[in-house]
Amino acid sequence: MSFQAEKALVRAHYDALAKATPDTVVEVLAERTVPDWHWRGMHPFHEQRGAEAVAEVFWSPFLTSMMHVQRRQDIFIAGRNEIDGFKSVWVISMGHLMGLFDAPFLGIPASRKITMLRYAEFNRVENGVIVETALFFDLIHLMHQAGLRPLPPQTGQHLVQPGPATHDGLLYEDAEGGDDTLALINRMIGDINAAGKLTPQDELAQCWHNDMIWWGPDGIGATYTIERYIEQHQRPFRTQLSDRKFNGHVCRLAEGNFGGFFGWPNLTLTSTGSYMGLPASGKSADMRVVDMYRRDGDKLAENWIFIDILHFLNMQGLDVLARMKSFH
């Protein structure tokens, strides 16, 4: 099955966005989207309908703040969505939007330096147009690049996260092997849902290489090897958050050795410990998450994660954007 038409449409959309200005971006967005385009963005953008609303809340302000924007893609894949019975076709892009951070954005002060905004975007294509989009960012990562520290020290590492170690994530041509990748991702999800039957090490060793890399979002940070992943992410997550409810995914697909999913929200949890170094709120909150994976043989090797941490904390009464403004 070929996804060349859908990939070409999204690539043309990106090429047009690369030439857009704050004043022209609404026309650019409207050219390849339906009038009631359903767009999802992380806090504070949330859900929007139509090109005009999307331009107003995100793209026009972003292009006003960030000069000479380049889209630097690390993963580009397409496929049919397992969640709706493989009916809809989605195209996924992941990488960085790079530019010169020359004017404040969301109250984040301009650095006037080169800046890399991590992103992952899912586009559903139907009848030659984009009908649905989910665009996830790492805004805390952006704050760190601007010299701000809005949250306590993180357990993992802050860095500009690279793409696949194999440098082969841009599948402009259709690739085989997606069924194997999707099956492995689903088996890994099953292991998570059955947590507690094995030790954390044995649980992870079923689907992950020992030298796995977990490219986590800022606020948590990146970590390397199963041992450090358990120490720096899994153990805090499982011991400091409780009442975990899995809400499902909106889209899950794979092509070649790459695959991923997003939910809206994926999880609902209660803060009962000092997760991310913050006091327990005792409140239930939603996690909107993107996970992207690289398979190496019969196990997973790399995982890029985007979590709407600002939304998760906002639901608990902590407005990180407002708090950040008090720092400068």
Distance set, CA 230 to CA 86, 109, 144, 213, 238 (Å): 33, 35, 24, 12, 10
Of 233, 238, 219, nearest to 154 by C-alpha is 219
Of 324, 235, 234, 318, nearest to 281 by C-alpha is 318
Q: Where are the alpha helices (DSSP H) in 34-177?
A: 51-54, 60-65, 139-145
pLDDT by residue for the chain (328 residues), tens only, comes to 899 999 999 999 999 999 999 999 999 999 999 999 999 999 999 999 999 999 999 999 999 999 999 999 999 999 999 999 999 999 999 999 999 999 999 999 999 999 999 999 999 999 999 999 999 999 999 999 999 999 999 999 999 999 999 999 999 999 999 999 999 999 999 888 776 788 999 999 999 999 999 999 999 999 999 999 999 999 999 999 999 999 999 999 999 999 999 999 999 999 999 999 999 999 999 999 999 999 999 999 999 999 999 999 999 999 999 887 776 5
Rounded CA-CA distance 13/28 in Å is: 8
Distant-in-sequence, close-in-space partners of 318: CB < 8 Å, separation ≥ 6 = 278, 281
Tokens read off for 154: 């993180």
Of 177, 198, 154, nearest to 79 by C-alpha is 177
| pTM recorded for the entire structure | 0.97
Fold for domain 4-145? Nuclear Transport Factor 2; Chain: A, (3.10.450)
Q: What DSSP element (H or E) covers 157?
A: none
128: buried, middle or exposed (CB in 10 Å: 19+, 13-18, 0-12)? exposed
Q: Which CATH architecture has domain 178-325?
A: Roll (3.10)
Tokens read off for 215: 């490219």
23: buried, middle or exposed (CB in 10 Å: 19+, 13-18, 0-12)? exposed
- The residues of the chain that CATH labels 3.10.450.50 are 4-145, 178-325
Which CB contacts under 8 angstroms, 24+ apart, belong to 16-22? 17/59, 17/71, 18/69, 18/70, 18/71, 20/59, 20/63, 21/63, 22/59, 22/60, 22/61, 22/63, 22/64
